[in-house]
């Protein structure tokens, strides 16, 4: 722990150091989980939208960090008068971008705490040698959008967060002639191929993301094959009763045959039947995927803008 000094403050910065102090952690002290969840709940109640980090995210921050993503992982806690009033976190998937989420308790806003927390997070990304930090900002967060402008952030992309509202039936398997297995490290190369082909990212980056997901606690990737060919994958992170789906991809040459629909219905139906709330995020320009999610029973909750701060 160190008292806040000017290094806490963005170069674009506040004139006076904000009150309180910042600490940086790579793995959260479990004792901080409760206060941080309370902080997020206070912000959600006041703003009417999730700030970005939720209970599942915060719980996951107390777990061991796989080496692939260690350089992208840090938590910043702001305390004032013995109370946790602000939080920022950086995370990545082994690929090029490091994402930043931040929240300040509604009672303690406009004192420079958000600027200092996000400044510290962006500095961490810069020191790690990464070229840009992506600030994750709820579209309706006036303060978040204004804060991002203070960093000269530019629009990268936007994602809609969707929650499963109408659960598909729980079936024994995905059907459609698909076989399923849980991915192991032996699958990293094929997952890299599928991810790279479906998302257009470099294959090394897609492999790194897959490797870190397989190693991460509470996350599993399932691989789907059709007549012996690996055609699709899906990644599920779960913490307690909250599950989130990511990394959902069908090889482009196998798209359009109903595999994606079958996989998503089966996975979502299984998770709902086992008592999970289920969320998924989709790039707002990806109408095809968004429609599939709507048809599967997901409904849009909110939109997050990903705003890029150059750190290279
Ligand atoms: C975004 C958030 C973290 C800002 O926290 P904060 O401690 O109030 O931010 P600061 O006091 O450091 O504000 C720094 C600057 O951002 C801008 N800003 C922040 N909130 C603003 C608001 N409501 N209206 C206008 N400008 C605002 C201002 O330029 C401000 O500087 P100033 O007070 O000297 O004018 C807080 O509003 C929050 O938790 N929002 C919900 C979650 C969210 O949007 N997260 C995105 C994080 S990138």
Q: Which residues 6+ apart lie within 8 Å of 238 measured at CB?
A: 56, 218, 219, 244, 271, 276
- Whether the per-residue pLDDT at 226 is higher than 80: the answer is yes
Instruction: Let me know: does 179 contact 231? Beta carbons within 8 Å.
Output: no
Ligand 1 atom showing the smallest separation from residue 47 Cα: 41
Ligand 1 center to 161 CA (angstroms): 22
Interval 75-107: pLDDT, tens: 999 999 999 999 999 998 776 789 999 999 999
Q: Which residues contact 65 (CB under 8 A, 6 or more apart)?
A: 26, 27, 73
Going by C-beta distance under 8 Å and a sequence separation of 6 or more, which residues neighbour residue 92?
Answer: 69, 72, 73, 98, 99, 130
Contact yes or no for 241/59 (Cβ under 8 A): no
Q: Give the integer Cα–Cα distance in Å for 190 and 233.
A: 10
What's the angle, vertex CA 299, arms to CA 169 and CA 280, rounded to 5? Answer: 80
Q: Which helix (H) or strand (E) holds 227?
A: none
Question: How far is residue 136 CA from its own chain's centroid?
Answer: 9
Tokens for 134, please give them. Answer: 């992506």
Ramachandran category for residue 81: left, alpha or beta (phi over 0 → left; psi -120 to 50 → alpha): left
From ligand 1's centre to the CA of 109, what distance in Å? 7
Q: Measure the CA–CA gap between 63 and 68, rounded to whole angstroms.
A: 14
What mean pLDDT comes out for the span 208-220? 85
Ligand 1, residue 108: give the atom nearest the CA: 7
- Which residue's C-alpha comes closest to atom 26 of ligand 1? 146
For the domain bounded by 166-296, which CATH number is listed?
3.40.630.30
2 band by pLDDT with thresholds 50, 70 and 90: very low
37 CA from centroid of ligand 1 (Å): 20
For 267-306, the pLDDT digits (tens) are: 999 999 999 999 999 999 999 999 999 999 999 999 999 9
Separation between Cα atoms, residue 270 and residue 139, nearest integer Å: 31
Provide the mean pLDDT of the chain.
91
Residue owning the nearest CA to atom 24 of ligand 1 = 143
Could you tell me which residues are beta bridge partners of residue 229?
Answer: 226
pTM of the model: 0.87
Which pLDDT tens digit goes with each residue over 125-140? 999 999 999 999 999 9
- Determine the atom of ligand 1 nearest the C-alpha atom of 102: 47
| Listed residue (100, 93, 107, 80) closest to 22, CA to CA | 80
Residue 243 falls in which region: left (phi positive, over 0), alpha (psi -120 to 50) or beta: beta
Ligand 1 atom, smallest distance to 51 CA: 42
Query: In which element (H, E) is residue 121 found?
Result: helix 113-127
Residue 88: CB atoms within 10 A of its CB come to 29
| Residue with CA closest to ligand 1 atom 32 | 110
Same fold, 2-158 and 166-296: yes
Ligand 1: residues with CB < 6 A are 43, 47, 51-52, 102-104, 109-115, 118, 135, 137-138, 141-144, 146-148, 150
The 10 Å Cβ neighbour count of residue 7 is 12
Domain boundaries, the chain: 2-158, 166-296
Angle at 61 between CA 122 and CA 139, to 5 degrees: 55
pLDDT at residue 13 in the model: 46
Domain range 2-158, CATH architecture: 3-Layer(aba) Sandwich (3.40)
**Which residue, among 155, 118, 104, 85, has the nearest Cα to 9 in the 3D structure?**
118
Q: How far is the CA of 141 from the centre of ligand 1 (A)?
A: 9
């Amino acid at each position: 722990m160190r008292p806040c000094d000017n290094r806490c403050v963005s170069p674009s910065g506040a004139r006076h150091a904000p009150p309180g102090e910042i600490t940086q952690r790579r793995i959260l002290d479990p004792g901080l989980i409760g206060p941080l969840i309370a902080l997020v709940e206070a912000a959600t109640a006041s703003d009417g939208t999730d700030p970005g980090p939720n209970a599942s995210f915060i719980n996951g921050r107390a777990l061991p960090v796989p080496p692939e993503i260690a350089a992208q992982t840090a938590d910043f806690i702001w305390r004032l008068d013995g109370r946790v009033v602000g939080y920022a976190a950086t995370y990545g998937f082994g690929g090029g971008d490091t994402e930043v989420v931040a929240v300040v308790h509604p009672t303690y806003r406009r004192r420079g705490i958000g600027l200092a927390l996000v400044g510290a997070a962006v500095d961490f990304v810069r020191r790690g040698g990464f070229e840009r930090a992506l600030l994750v900002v709820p579209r309706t967060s006036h303060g978040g959008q204004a804060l991002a402008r203070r960093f000269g952030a530019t629009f990268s992309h936007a994602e809609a967060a969707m929650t499963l509202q109408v659960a598909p039936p729980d079936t024994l398997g995905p059907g459609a002639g698909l076989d399923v297995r849980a991915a192991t490290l032996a699958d990293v190369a094929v997952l890299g191929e599928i991810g790279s082909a479906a998302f257009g990212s470099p294959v090394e980056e897609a492999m790194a993301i897959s490797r870190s997901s397989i190693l991460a606690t509470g996350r599993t990737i399932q691989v789907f094959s059709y007549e012996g060919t690996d055609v699709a994958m899906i990644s599920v992170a779960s913490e307690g009763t909250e599950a989130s789906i990511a990394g959902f991809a069908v090889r482009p040459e196998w798209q359009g045959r109903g595999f994606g629909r079958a996989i998503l219905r089966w996975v979502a139906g299984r998770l709902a039947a086992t008592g999970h709330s289920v969320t998924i995020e989709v790039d707002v320009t990806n109408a095809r995927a968004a429609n599939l999610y709507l048809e599967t029973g997901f409904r849009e909750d909110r939109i997050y803008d990903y705003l890029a701060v150059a750190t290279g």
